[in-house]
Amino acid sequence: MAAAERNIDRMARLVAGTEVRLRPHYKAHKCPELMRRQLAAPGTAGAACQTVAEAAELAALGCADVLLTNQLADPRRVAELLALPPEVDLGVLVDRPEQVDLLGAGAAAARRRVRVFVELDVGLRRGGFDAADPDVAVAVGAIEEQPWLELAGVQAYEGHAVLEPDVELRHRRAADAHALAGRFRDRLARLAGRPLVLTGGGTGTADLIAATGALDEIQCGSYVLMDAAYGRLGLPFEAALFCVATALSAHPDGRVVLDAGMKSLSGDGLPRALTPGVRVLGLSDEHTRARQAATVLRTGDRLLLQPWHVDPTMNLHDAVVVVEDGRTHTAPIRGRHAVRAG
């Protein structure tokens, strides 16, 4: 926890003295205990989340400003979101006019104000309008017509840039995305006749955003625990999440088999072994295959693995073991899967 606290402090110091606000992303870890500490950091505007189940956890934590950085296309999910305690200020993304109609109907039924953020695709090719899509104006018009919806801002997540290891390329890609997003926000603000918030960003672009002020908010997620993917970037955040594995067999030819696989660690990349001289080669369901040059690990030895990707790793577990002030306790991970019939 001390490492996570230092990361929280470093991110807060990055934006100190600027107009940029932090919006930590709950999806990174889904751990209320961690998020409580992140929300207490100076310069924090509220939290971001990716699912309605996560939004419910944030509401239960007492977070007063929750931005769902996703679209909703199912009236049942809209109703669930709008059933959260009324004191929570809710924001939702749209990138199609149809979503506005759905959200507007739900908001009217719940008699609840909802802040709407128009998502712009700035290069990730996931969610978001193309800037030139004529339906942007249609969606903005539809928001303005809905009595319970308020056009609040623009979402522009430069996910294609955040993990680029080459810092110049990362910053160039991000700066291009920010420039596009800034022009788009200004256009929508003119249509709306009032200032709009520009939100986006992530761990890998937080330094640039803090320095330029190009976005109003940083939706920083991974920074608090970090992972091996981000570890390659030389960012000012340290590893705070590890999986303890045991060497099931250490063979004389250097092969080592560990008892943690894709059911404990994200399978979209290889974890990093913290023991020097041990290199991870592959993951299967319940095993990690590694190789050691000299005998640093013997059968039965334990070692630490840093996951490749924090979000899907945390999503595999019910709880994390927190080490704090020389003591341990378990902290639940909540809001993972909402299993629903129908």
3-state per-residue secondary structure call for 122-170 = CCCCCCCECCCCCHHHHHHHHHHHCCCEEEEEEEECCCCCCCCCCHHHH
| Cβ-based nearer residue to ligand PLP, 105 or 233 | 233
CB of 223 to ligand PLP, least distance (A): 6
- The reply on whether position 162 binds ligand PLP by CB under 6 A is yes
> Per CB under 6 A, does 91 bind ligand PLP?
no
Rounded Cα distance, 120 and 126, in Å? 10
**Residue choice 106, 153, 204, 271 for contact with ligand PLP (CB under 6 A):** 204
* Residue 129 in contact with ligand PLP, rule: CB under 6 A: no
CB nearer to ligand PLP: pick between 126 and 251: 126
| 313: contact with ligand PLP by CB under 6 A | no
Please report how many Cα atoms fall inside a 13 Å half-sphere around the Cα of residue 245, on the Cβ side. 35
Three-class SS of residue 255?
strand
How far apart CA 225 and CA 342 sit, in angstroms, is: 35
38 interacts with ligand PLP by CB under 6 A: no
Q: Which of 174, 224, 201 lies closest to 28, judged by CA?
A: 224
- Give whichever of 93 and 196 is closer to ligand PLP, judged by the CB atom: 93
Smallest gap from Cβ 162 to ligand PLP, in A, equals 5
Rule CB under 6 A: say whether 157 interacts with ligand PLP: yes
4, 1, 26: which is closest to 238 by C-alpha? 4
| Number of neighbouring beta carbons within 10 Å of residue 256 | 28
Contact status: 8 vs ligand PLP (CB under 6 A): no
> Which of positions 221-240 make contact with ligand PLP (CB under 6 A)?
221-223
Query: If you write DSSP's letter for every residue of 58-82 in order, what string do you get?
Result: HHHTT-SEEEE-S----HHHHHHHH
User: Among 219, 266, 306, 313, which residue sits at the site for ligand PLP (rule: CB under 6 A)?
Assistant: 219
104 contacts ligand PLP (rule: CB under 6 A): no
Footprint of ligand PLP on this chain (CB under 6 A)?
Answer: 25, 28, 69, 157, 159, 162, 202-204, 219-223
